[in-house]
Amino acid sequence: MNTENANVPDTRDTGNGTTAGAIIIAASLLSVLMMAHHPSVATHDASKVFAEIADKAWIDRLVHGSLIFLLGAQVFGYIEFCSRLGFFRNLVRAGMIGYVIGVGALIGAALIDGFVVSDLGSHYLPARAEDLEAARHLLNLCSISVVALASLGVVAMSVGFGLWSLALLRESRAKNIWLGALGMLLAAGPALAVLSGAIELHLHGMMLVILCQTVWNLAVGVQLLRGRI
């Protein structure tokens, strides 16, 4: 018999759960919308690359700034989710640590991709041809850093989702067993794909990961809205 939640008073506020669920759902859907408007550079010519980056800097900053805000909103929602699962549980606390590490890494990736790269484009736009070639190395460094941080973010967040899902599966109540099973699947898929190199976290790969995370976020959000967590 599972006595993990026994003799623990239920002090949860229904309104807090509804708010958290709505925030997680809204932030997830808006993240997909922002990623759909993520700008990309079409040219490979050095002078035109920086001109295109500078031209799209405003949308780049808007998209990545919005994504950073939405990640923060999701953390807010998941704090309530964890309080309902029970912060006294080791799996829940460990899951939150993994999730926050992942969010921090993704924020770092968004800062580089949305703000550092945009500033490089504006800075090197009037530069000489030889300086532009040297600046391309800075862009390559930014690209490598973004992928590395995004990979850490995806894996760490997946660990968080997986631990929370395991906590749901270990509950004595059966109403969220399906959510735990779904979370394990959606946590393992992106993490294994990134670690094995099956996907690269450039624009399309990141969009695929976000869609997987959105399925989990929507499921959690709905259960919070229904008062089932």
Task: Tell me the residue range of the domain where 75 lies.
Answer: 14-225
Q: Could you tell me if residue 7 is inside a domain? A: no
Give per-residue pLDDT as tens, 33-85.
999 988 887 766 766 788 888 888 999 999 999 999 999 999 999 999 999 99
* Domains identified in the chain, total number: 1
| Rounded Cα distance, 18 and 20, in Å | 6
What are all long-range contacts of 56-62, with beta carbons under 8 Å and residues at least 24 apart? Answer: 56/118, 57/118, 57/119, 57/121, 57/122, 60/113, 60/114, 60/115, 60/117, 60/118, 61/114, 61/115, 61/118
Q: Could you tell me if residue 8 is inside a domain? A: no
Q: Could you tell me if residue 186 is inside a domain? A: yes
Q: Could you tell me if residue 108 is inside a domain? A: yes
Q: Which two tokens stand for residue 64?
A: 């990545």
The CA-CA-CA angle for residues 142, 148, 114, to 5°, reads: 40
Predicted local confidence at residue 217, as pLDDT: 97
| Rounded Cα distance, 167 and 218, in Å | 18
Q: Could you tell me if residue 6 is inside a domain? A: no
pLDDT band at 23 (very low <50, low <70, confident <90, very high): very high
Q: Could you tell me if residue 19 is inside a domain? A: yes
| Rounded Cα distance, 128 and 113, in Å | 24
- DSSP characters for 77-132? HHHHHHHHH-TTSHHHHHHHHHHHHHHHHHHHHHHIIIIIHHHHHHHHTT--HHHH
* DSSP state letter for 60: H
Q: Could you tell me if residue 173 is inside a domain? A: yes
Q: Could you tell me if residue 2 is inside a domain? A: no
Q: Which two tokens stand for residue 137?
A: 């190395």
Residue pair 161/71 in contact by the 8 Å Cβ criterion? no
Give per-residue pLDDT as tens, 111-165.
999 999 999 888 887 766 667 777 888 889 999 999 999 999 999 999 999 999 9
pTM: 0.87
Average pLDDT, the chain: 88
